Amino acid sequence: MNDYKLIAELLFPNIEKTDEILKRYPSRDLNNGEQVTRFAPSPTGFMHIGNFFQAFISYNIARQSDGVFYLRLEDTDSKREVKEAKEIIYQILEKFNVFPTEYQTLEGKDIGKYGPYVQSQRVNIYNAFAKKLVEEGKAFPCFCKKTEGKEDVLKLRENKFIEDNEKEYDPCRNLSYQEVKEHLDKGEKFAIRLKTKNDGSQRVKFYDLIKGEIEAKANSKDFILLKNDGIPPYAFAHAIDDTLMGTTIVVRGEEYISSTPMHIELFEALGFKPTSYCHNPLIWKIDENGKKRKISKRKDPEADMRFYFSEGYPKESILEYLLNLINSGFEIWRKNNPTLSWEEYKFGIKDITTVAPVFDIVKLNDIAKNIVVQISGEKLFDNWVKWAKEYDGELAEELVINKEKFVKLCKMERDDTAKPRKDIYNYKMLKEYFSYAFKKPKVVVEEKDIFKDFITNYKNSFIMPNSNQEWFDHIKDIAGQNGFAIDNKLYKQNPEAYKGNIAKACEFARIALTGQKSGPSLYYIIDALGESEVRERLESASKI
Ligand code: GLU
């Protein structure tokens, strides 16, 4: 046995051979064009819109090619309780129906043949491959103290930078079997570092499926493969997992481009075929001062995917908005296919944006309005209740108790018209939107005397209308009898002769009943509020 083999045996006794592991992960049986993608979140207890964006791209690539979308939890860096963070990730994927076909359940059961789908349960695999690299002289143990969690030599050496041409002075790079044994006998912990074959003069080329060929300086750092607790940082786990689990396209944020040369060297060292990458831009936002900056977990509520649920956006609106960010062609497709599900939309990898998308809530709201407008009144009510049950229990109760009233309001100018109003974009806003249905209106008017006079007469002659026409005919009569012009032409010729026009009279009635100056036809509101409530409101308004 050469020194490398002996050293490897000393460091990792009794560990499964990589050949055995490789047998457990046979290549996937893929038909032409089927892609295997994955979502590989670190469980932080939060899902950033940028992460979901990548998950959604991955999901679509797999879905469009009849391939596989799997979930791998990258929890090796996690110092916190993973369970809750895992739940948040699953909940969000489930709610959006962007769910993987292979994953580990919350109870810890692996669904799929390429598990475990949680990195902390794959440590033996990483150790086995680290051993192999040590055996082959491609990696070495490092006994320096500062290796925990630190990824590069720079930090490792208490900030003394090791130049490419100084690697020979590295105290651990060329340890003999005897020296390694001495360290271990003293009970010292070790990390494993790559022994790079590069000296800083090489360049590397790799291909990004959306950005094309990228050329960069090849890695020349002896970076850490396993920390001294046996856990790998991102790079090593990525190369091993994406190979064993059969990923055909790695979709990840473009912040990983700069470390791709490290990954390429690792794939080579491990004898693996490098994977294909699709690096996508982060999502930006224009802040209050007009400055463009990355959407931030700390500053922007909309960075957290849970925001969209607590605001009550229909889930399709978020998915469609993200499709818009992924590829601007979606908007044209949507215009041409207003009633098809977004799932019918297909885009190629080449169509994915290379330009950093800017988050725009106005645009999102527009998309949501177009979706809400297609929902029937009854369904709108059901969705509202469903949302309220989760986010506003009191409201949910009120809605259920007064179902008839609220269903009528939801149906208003929606179910019986070819041109429904397009101003609702989420369920949270409905309470304010229908505020007059929850509380008695606050009546504020300028021409108080004329108002009181008219409302008193309206109240005294009020009859519950059976149709919009009946309601309008009636208010017209009362307005006419009270000195309002019912013919607008006449009114315009001589406005002084009247207290106002018919529109003014209707506005008064609306203020009395809702406290608002404009809104949907009053007939529907009267019908929803019911006769006694209408009479009561007219009564109080006549006494202001
Ligand atoms: N766990 C990494 C992250 O959350 C995954 C990156 C990747 O998709 O490869 O950034």
Q: How close is the Cα of 408 to the center of ligand 1, in Å?
A: 48
- Determine the pLDDT at residue 163: 63
Q: How close is the Cα of 72 to the center of ligand 1, in Å?
A: 10
- Take residue 43 and report the two structure tokens written for it: 């469980």
- Take residue 312 and report the two structure tokens written for it: 């009550």
Identify whether the C-beta of residue 353 lies closer than 8 Å to the C-beta of residue 324. Answer: no
Contacts of 535 (CB under 8 A, 6+ apart): 459, 462
- Determine the pLDDT at residue 445: 94
Taking the C-alpha atoms of residue 164 and residue 220, their distance in angstroms, rounded to an integer, is 7
Report which ligand 1 atom has the smallest distance to the Cα of 54.
Answer: 8
Provide the 10 A C-beta neighbour count for residue 305: 23
- Take residue 198 and report the two structure tokens written for it: 């590069």
Q: How close is the Cα of 42 to the center of ligand 1, in Å?
A: 7
Contacts from 257-261 at CB under 8 Å and sequence distance 24+? Answer: 257/208, 257/214, 257/216, 258/216, 259/234, 259/235, 260/206, 260/214, 260/216, 261/204, 261/206, 261/216, 261/217, 261/218, 261/219
What are the boundaries of each domain within the chain? Answer: 5-11+123-280, 373-431, 448-541
41 lines ligand 1 (CB under 6 A): yes
- Determine the pLDDT at residue 162: 59
pLDDT of the chain, 544 residues: tens digit per residue: 679 999 999 999 999 999 999 999 999 999 989 999 999 999 988 899 999 999 999 999 999 999 999 999 999 876 666 778 889 999 999 999 999 999 999 999 999 999 999 999 999 999 999 999 999 999 999 988 654 444 444 444 444 445 666 677 778 899 999 999 999 999 999 999 999 999 899 999 999 999 999 999 999 989 999 998 999 999 999 999 999 999 999 999 999 999 999 999 999 999 999 999 999 998 999 988 889 999 998 999 999 999 999 999 999 999 999 999 999 899 999 999 998 999 999 999 999 998 899 999 999 999 999 999 999 999 999 999 999 999 999 999 999 999 999 999 999 989 888 888 899 999 999 999 999 999 999 999 999 999 999 999 999 999 999 999 999 999 999 999 999 999 989 999 999 999 999 999 999 999 999 999 998 889 999 999 999 999 999 999 999 8
Domain 5-11+123-280, architecture per CATH: 3-Layer(aba) Sandwich (3.40)
User: Which residue, 15, 49, 62, is CA-closest to 325?
Assistant: 49
CA 317 vs CA 60, 61, 97, 515: distances in Å: 16, 20, 13, 31
- Determine the pLDDT at residue 44: 87
40 lines ligand 1 (CB under 6 A): yes
Report the Cα 479 to chain-centroid distance in Å: 53
Q: Is the dihedral of CA 293, 294, 299, 300 positive or negative?
A: positive
**Among protein residues, the one whose CA lies closest to atom 4 of ligand 1:** 41
Q: Is 185 exposed, middle or buried (CB count within 10 Å of its CB: 0-12, 13-18, 19+)?
A: exposed
Report which ligand 1 atom has the smallest distance to the Cα of 238.
Answer: 9
**Among protein residues, the one whose CA lies closest to atom 8 of ligand 1:** 252
- Determine the pLDDT at residue 394: 97
Provide the 10 A C-beta neighbour count for residue 443: 21
**Letter for the amino acid at 45?**
G
Taking the C-alpha atoms of residue 90 and residue 85, their distance in angstroms, rounded to an integer, is 9
Q: How close is the Cα of 187 to the center of ligand 1, in Å?
A: 34
- Take residue 310 and report the two structure tokens written for it: 């607590």
Tell the residue number behind the tokens 């008017």, with chain if given. Answer: 445
Has domain 448-541 been given CATH number 1.20.1250.20?
Answer: no
Helix (H) or strand (E) holding 103: strand 103-104
Q: How close is the Cα of 200 to the center of ligand 1, in Å?
A: 27
Report which ligand 1 atom has the smallest distance to the Cα of 242.
Answer: 9
- Rounded to 5°, angle at Cα 391 from 309 and 380: 70
Scored b (16 or more CB within 10 A) or e, 511-526 reads bbbbbeeebebbbbbb
- Determine the pLDDT at residue 171: 81
HSE, side-chain direction, 13 A CA sphere, residue 492: 3
- Determine the pLDDT at residue 160: 47
- Determine the pLDDT at residue 166: 67
Identify whether the C-beta of residue 249 lies closer than 8 Å to the C-beta of residue 61. Answer: yes
**Letter for the amino acid at 450?**
I
By most ligand atoms within 8 Å of CB, the mutation choice from 46, 76, 252 for ligand 1 is: 252
